[in-house]
């Protein structure tokens, strides 16, 4: 691959990474996506430099200026948003620059835009797409900057030396490096990849150790807010047509129990609707009351339970169009990191609106109802407030009440009647997403029961609720989600929009509300095994990224540091135990040797004497610098065995130390002989000058003699006696 082609490929990867990052957030409209995508693809296949040369400067300036009236129209009429209209302007200019790439500054302009897009994307979301875009940006950025500097440096060198490249193949034209017959693109890519990985590896410890900041809008997922199909705070019946299901992920749930130990009918409860108008369900009481923090880190929602069974759940909700808190039946507590929580009269819970952000929270529930024998044997009075809302009936077809009494004719207790209605609906009606019947029917429920006899879950739940109310049993319709599909790779349940479901809650005094589901089993949303495994893998990686990276907060940082501290303390204890064991074994070995007491006593005396001698030697040598230096040099000569030149150099250095102790110091500008002559009539002048001449002859001469070392040693001894050292 030529230099020019590799440089262009690297630059285009850098430009594309920023565009993909901002496009994955879902903030760009179709016009901006198409404009930049078409310009990006077209610019790769055409000769942009030739196009730039053919277009005069006034044409390019006119094309740039011509968009500003459109920018004002976009801001005032179309988008009504300064941010969106500015994004359109930037992408228009970037597209124009792409198709007229000719100079280095054009590339720099597009690099800066790509970096700005990456920064903008980081303020909107940090999902896997952003992480991949960031890595590509980092890798291509390292490679592009290196190549860009090579390109500019070579161009400056050619310009300065007035060099003209020879005739070259068309594939290498314009590179500025035409003298190279083949560019080592593979090696450059490998070096860039290694540099990128080093940067990432060095950044990982900083990520885990730096103080955490609030995520803010960084928790916003890619795309638009999920308007959940099948789930709403109002249920309408009587529509005609087909329900189109979506496989978009709504939430992921991790539970404390394995799938085999979970209740078969486990669901994620959302909201209860108790008022039926003949065609629609809604809440009769819209009031909410705040729930106060009662436990450390948790909001306590219930004061008592009927069993000891507990199910801990961790929810990872996408940005939904509802503020409902989802959990399995009878929520006992919810974690405080969800924010403020409100509760209505039907035991539904709500949090602060999260249309623009993901939400993570933990919930503790009591999923198992009491034993059926208890529900079937004990009854109590119905509270008056439940009679008003959960026994309410509109004017309806009298056949519905008659059917309910026929189904439960031989049943005596509310629980038996409830089970009978549930079994009847599941056995005699079929599930369908195709809604048939007479449009605008006055009683869609009667049409479902007596004419169509097929429908989706909202019809089944509505029919059961109304028939139970006809029998004097308090009931209400509940909207939420089925458990979803279990992901064995990520150990979580993936809940999609097509898992939205409606069922029934029935009140049994004094136990409370319990779930029943009259809807027959839905058709399975089957996928090929490979596609399911691949989807589970991607889903598990996405959940790990969200939980361990995006939601890495101060609490997780504290746990990480505390875990490291615990492990360090553990290994310290293990080391101390090992050393203590070694010491005990050595002591036991000495005791087994049964050494005589006089040997131990004499050994202590010898060690004490050696210690005193060492202290005395230290005190003497501390005051006698010359003696200390002589001992050090003698030891070095004994151990290192220096050659003749090094040994005589050590004699000369010791002589300089002796003169320095007498206040005679050699100036840095003096040669050895000049310093010796400067001593004049000093008693040490003659032996020092002779030693200096010997030092110069050995150091810089080519002929050496074995007699020079004894001669130098004798001169040094004479110098010591003269100076008293």
Summarize pLDDT for 362-397 with one digit per residue, the tens.
Answer: 888 887 776 777 777 767 788 888 888 899 998 878
Residue 234, token pair as written in the block = 């109002």
The residues, any chain, with a CB within 8 Å of residue 186's CB and separated by 6 or more, are none
3-state secondary structure 495-537: EEHHHEEEEEEEEECCCEEEEECCCCCCCCCCCCHHHHHHHHH
pLDDT-above-70 percentage for the chain: 76
Q: What's the confidence (pLDDT) of residue 598?
A: 57
CA 315 to CA 237: how far, in whole Å? 30
Token pair 């079937």 is found at: 376
User: Regarding predicted confidence, which is higher, 620 or 142?
Assistant: 142
Q: Can you name the residues that pair with 431 across neighbouring β-strands?
A: 455
CA 410 to CA 298: how far, in whole Å? 47
Structural domains of the chain in order of their starting residue, each with its CATH number: 3-210 (no CATH), 235-549 (3.10.620.30), 642-723 (no CATH)
Averaging pLDDT over each range in 34-48, 283-297, 304-318, 458-472, which range is the top one? 458-472
Nearest to 411 by CA among 376, 456, 386: 376
Average pLDDT over residues 72-98: 80
Q: Are 252 and 313 in contact (CB under 8 A)?
A: no
CA 493 to CA 502: how far, in whole Å? 19
Say if residue 109 is exposed, middle or buried (CB neighbours under 10 Å; 0-12, 13-18, 19+): middle
Q: What's the confidence (pLDDT) of residue 404?
A: 93
228 pLDDT tier (thresholds 50, 70, 90): very low
pLDDT-above-90 percentage for the chain: 11
* CA distances, 468 to each of 129, 130, 248, 429, 442 (Å): 50, 52, 35, 17, 21
Summarize pLDDT for 21-69 with one digit per residue, the tens.
Answer: 888 777 677 777 888 888 889 888 888 888 888 877 778 778 888 888 8
Residue 56, token pair as written in the block = 């005069």
CA 4 to CA 362: how far, in whole Å? 55
Averaging pLDDT over each range in 76-85, 195-204, 261-270, 552-561, which range is the top one? 261-270
Q: Are 518 and 525 in contact (CB under 8 A)?
A: no
The SS3 of residue 182 is coil
Summarize pLDDT for 646-701 with one digit per residue, the tens.
Answer: 777 888 888 888 888 788 888 877 888 888 888 888 888 888 888 888 888 887 77
Summarize pLDDT for 400-452 with one digit per residue, the tens.
Answer: 999 999 999 888 889 999 999 999 999 999 988 776 655 556 788 999 999 88
Average pLDDT over residues 6-12: 87
CA 296 to CA 284: how far, in whole Å? 34
Count Cβ atoms below 10 Å from residue 524 Cβ, excluding itself. Answer: 7
Q: What's the confidence (pLDDT) of residue 633?
A: 59
CA 585 to CA 613: how far, in whole Å? 32
Q: What's the confidence (pLDDT) of residue 238?
A: 67
Nearest to 209 by CA among 721, 556, 622, 586: 556
* CA distances, 512 to each of 247, 330, 470 (Å): 34, 10, 19
Summarize pLDDT for 699-722 with one digit per residue, the tens.
Answer: 777 666 667 778 888 888 888 888
Q: What's the confidence (pLDDT) of residue 214?
A: 46
CA 490 to CA 484: how far, in whole Å? 14
Summarize pLDDT for 519-577 with one digit per residue, the tens.
Answer: 998 756 566 676 667 777 777 777 766 666 666 666 566 666 767 778 888 888 888 88
209 pLDDT tier (thresholds 50, 70, 90): low
Vertex 642 angle, CA 641 and 646, to 5°: 160
């Amino acid at each position: 691959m030529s230099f020019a082609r590799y440089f262009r490929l690297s630059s285009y990867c850098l430009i594309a990474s920023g565009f993909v990052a901002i496009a994955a957030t879902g903030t760009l409209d179709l016009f901006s996506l198409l404009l930049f995508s078409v310009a990006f693809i077209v610019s790769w296949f055409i000769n942009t430099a030739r196009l730039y040369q053919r277009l005069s400067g006034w044409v390019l300036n006119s094309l740039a200026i011509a968009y500003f009236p459109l920018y004002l129209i976009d801001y005032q009429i179309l988008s009504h948003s300064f941010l969106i209209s500015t994004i359109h302007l930037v992408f228009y200019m970037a597209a124009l620059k792409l198709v007229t790439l000719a100079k280095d500054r054009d590339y720099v302009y597009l690099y800066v835009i790509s970096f700005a897009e990456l920064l903008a994307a980081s303020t909107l979301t940090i999902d896997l797409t952003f992480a991949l875009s960031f890595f590509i940006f980092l890798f291509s950025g390292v490679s592009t900057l290196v190549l860009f500097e090579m390109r500019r440096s070579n161009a400056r060198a050619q310009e300065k030396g007035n060099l003209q490249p020879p005739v070259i193949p068309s594939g290498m034209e314009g590179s500025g490096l035409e003298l190279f017959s083949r560019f080592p693109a593979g090696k450059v890519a490998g070096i860039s990849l290694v540099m990128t990985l080093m940067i990432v590896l060095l950044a990982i410890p900083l990520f885990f150790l730096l103080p955490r900041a609030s995520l803010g809008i960084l928790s916003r997922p890619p795309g638009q807010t999920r308007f959940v199909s099948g789930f709403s705070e109002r249920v309408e019946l009587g529509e005609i047509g087909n329900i189109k299901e979506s496989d978009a992920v709504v939430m992921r749930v991790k539970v404390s129990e394995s799938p085999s130990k979970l209740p078969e009918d486990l669901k994620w409860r959302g909201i209860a609707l108790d008022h039926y108008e003949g065609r629609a369900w809604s809440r009769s009481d819209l009031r909410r009351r705040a729930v106060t923090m009662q436990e450390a880190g948790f909001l306590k929602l219930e004061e008592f339970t009927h069993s000891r069974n507990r199910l801990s759940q961790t929810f990872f909700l996408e940005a939904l169009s509802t503020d409902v808190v989802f959990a399995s039946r009878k929520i006992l507590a919810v974690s405080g990191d969800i924010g403020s929580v409100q509760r209505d009269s039907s035991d539904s819970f709500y949090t602060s609106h999260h249309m623009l952000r993901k939400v993570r929270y933990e919930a503790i529930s009591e999923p198992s109802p009491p034993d059926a024998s208890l529900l079937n044997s004990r009854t109590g009075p119905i509270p008056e407030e439940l009679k008003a809302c959960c026994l309410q009936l509109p004017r309806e077809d009298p056949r519905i009440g008659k059917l309910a009494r026929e189904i439960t004719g031989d049943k005596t207790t509310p629980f038996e009647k409830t089970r009978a209605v549930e079994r009847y609906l599941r056995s005699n009606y079929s599930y369908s997403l195709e809604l048939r019947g007479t449009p605008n029917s006055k009683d869609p429920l009667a049409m479902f029961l007596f004419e169509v006899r097929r429908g989706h879950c909202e019809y089944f739940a509505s029919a059961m609720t109304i028939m139970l109310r006809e029998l004097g049993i308090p009931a209400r319709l509940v909207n939420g989600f089925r458990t979803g599909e279990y992901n064995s790779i990520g150990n979580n349940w993936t809940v999609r929009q097509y898992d939205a479901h409606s069922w029934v809650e029935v009140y049994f005094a004094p136990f409370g509300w319990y779930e029943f589901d009259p809807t027959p089993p839905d058709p399975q949303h089957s996928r090929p095994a490979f596609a399911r495994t691949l989807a589970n893998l991607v889903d598990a990686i996405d959940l790990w990224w969200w939980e361990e990276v995006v939601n890495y907060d101060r609490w997780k940082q504290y746990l990480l540091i505390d875990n490291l501290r615990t492990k360090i303390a553990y290994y310290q204890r293990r080391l101390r135990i090992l050393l203590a064991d070694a010491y005990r074994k050595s002591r036991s070995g000495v005791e087994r040797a049964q050494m005589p007491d006089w040997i131990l006593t004499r050994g202590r005396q010898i060690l004490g004497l050696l210690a005193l001698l060492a202290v005395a030697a230290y005190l003497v040598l501390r005051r006698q610098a010359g003696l200390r230096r002589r001992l050090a040099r003698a030891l070095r000569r004994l151990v290192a065995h220096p050659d003749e030149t090094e040994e005589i150099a050590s004699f000369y250095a010791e002589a300089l130390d002796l003169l320095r102790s007498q206040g005679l110091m050699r100036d840095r500008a003096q040669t050895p002989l000049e310093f010796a002559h400067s001593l004049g009539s000093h008693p040490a002048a003659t032996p020092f000058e002779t030693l200096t001449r010997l030092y110069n002859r050995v150091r810089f001469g080519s002929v050496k003699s074995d007699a020079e070392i004894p001669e130098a040693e004798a001169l040094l001894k004479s110098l010591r006696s003269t100076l008293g050292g």
